[in-house]
A and B are shown apart, each in its own frame.
Chain A
Amino acid sequence: RKEVEQDPGPFNVPEGATVAFNCTYSNSASQSFFWYRQDCRKEPKLLMSVYSSGNEDGRFTAQLNRASQYISLLIRDSKLSDSATYLCVVLTGNQFYFGTGTSLTVIP
Chain B
Amino acid sequence: DADVTQTPRNRITKTGKRIMLECSQTKGHDRMYWYRQDPGLGLRLIYYSFDVKDINKGEISDGYSVSRQAQAKFSLSLESAIPNQTALYFCATSRGQETQYFGPGTRLLVL
Main secondary structure of the interface of B (DSSP, over half): strand
Residue of chain B at shortest CB distance from A91: B97
Contact indicator A98/B102 (Cβ below 8 Å) = no
Contact indicator B104/A43 (Cβ below 8 Å) = yes
- Tell yes or no: A55 within 8 A of B by CB: no
Contact indicator A43/B45 (Cβ below 8 Å) = no
Residue of chain A at shortest CB distance from B50: A94
Which of A9-17, A44-52, A61-69, A74-82 interfaces with chain B? Answer: A44-52
Given A44-B90, A99-B42, A100-B41, verify A94-B102 contact (CB < 8 Å). Answer: no
Contact indicator A43/B103 (Cβ below 8 Å) = yes
- Tell yes or no: A25 within 8 A of B by CB: no
Give the contacting residue for B102; candidates A8, A34, A43, A91; CB below 8 A: A43
Given A43-B105, A44-B43, A100-B41, verify A94-B99 contact (CB < 8 Å). Answer: no
Contact indicator A98/B99 (Cβ below 8 Å) = no
CB-CB under 8 A from A8, the residues of chain B are 40
Given A32-B97, A43-B90, A45-B102, verify A95-B40 contact (CB < 8 Å). Answer: no
- Tell yes or no: A42 within 8 A of B by CB: yes
Contact indicator A95/B99 (Cβ below 8 Å) = no
Contact indicator A95/B45 (Cβ below 8 Å) = yes
Give the contacting residue for A100; candidates B35, B42, B48, B56; CB below 8 A: B42
Contact indicator A100/B97 (Cβ below 8 Å) = no
Contact indicator A46/B99 (Cβ below 8 Å) = yes
- Tell yes or no: A87 within 8 A of B by CB: yes
Given A43-B102, A43-B103, A95-B58, verify A87-B97 contact (CB < 8 Å). Answer: no
Given A32-B97, A100-B40, verify A44-B102 contact (CB < 8 Å). Answer: yes
B11 to chain A, nearest CB (A): 15
13 A-B pairs within 8 Å (CB atoms) are namely A41-B88, A43-B102, A43-B103, A43-B105, A46-B101, A49-B99, A87-B42, A94-B56, A94-B97, A95-B45, A98-B43, A99-B42, A100-B40
